[in-house]
Amino acid sequence: MILAIDIGNTNINFAVFRGNGIIKKFFIRTDAYSLKKLRNALGKADIGDSIICSVVPQLTKILGEDLGKICNYRVYVLGKNVSVPIKNLYQKPQQVGQDRLVNAYAGVVFYGSPLIVVDFGTAVTFDVVSKNKEYLGGMIFPGLQISLDALSQRTALLPKIKLGRPKEIIGRDTRNSMLSGVVYGTAALVDALTEDLKEKVGQNAKVIGTGGNITMIREYCRVIDKIDQDLTLKGLNVIYSDKSDQPI
């Protein structure tokens, strides 16, 4: 069994794979991670190698060392000792987050190309793949909770609220007006941008939705063809299976 780990800004997502199947899945909040929580969450799972994708460099080292305390198997880190096998056409390829490359690659593996992956995480990201399976780039803009936080932090009278479903599109109190603006606004933005991107890469491009907020936002977006919450973790598992670089 291998352990796939996606270290994000809000949560660290874990999945234990046996072959292509997930047999255990859990998350730990990024700001609350500890070795004790990892041990408790893993329980008696017999873990072999691990593979890590991270956008929080300081936690990558910590978690890698902690895995060494739990088992004596190898730890692979994307961008360090294993690469995402996709042609990257970014002007400065090293600037692309490994999580975005994994999503693009996994999307091609499981759904084909051309492809648009929309990840509703701490930030909302678009990742675009050509019909020739090339990573073209994409977009990044504030995620749903970040947008709500910005409203409260940059205004005098708007409160700090948690993300949730708006009661209706026309908000009838402050909280629901904020939720309506952020949720319906983000969904409308995603729909419009997706149509623009399809003009570039082809109308037959599949649109895959993923990320921590996808289950909430999916009912407001019209363009999502397929929901795959485990896209990044599944991509890590495939990359592990096909790796050619040397481990730590």
Q: Is 119 left (phi over 0), alpha (psi -120 to 50) or beta?
A: beta
Catalytic choice (6, 99, 119, 228): 99
Distance (Å, rounded) from C-alpha 42 to C-alpha 70? 10
| Burial label, 244 (beta-carbon count in 10 A; 0-12, 13-18, 19+) | exposed
Reply yes or no on whether 99 is catalytic.
yes
Q: d(Cα 125, Cα 23) in Å, to the nearest integer?
A: 28
One-letter identity of residue 222: R
SS3 content of the chain, % helix, strand, coil (to 5): 40, 25, 35
| Sequence letter at residue 114 | P
Burial of 135 (0-12, 13-18, 19+ CB in 10 A): buried
Element (H, E) at 100: helix 98-111
**How long is the chain?**
248
- Could you give the count of Cα atoms lying within 13 Å of 145 in the half-sphere of its Cβ? 13
| DSSP designation for 159 | P
**Which residues participate in catalysis according to the annotation?**
99
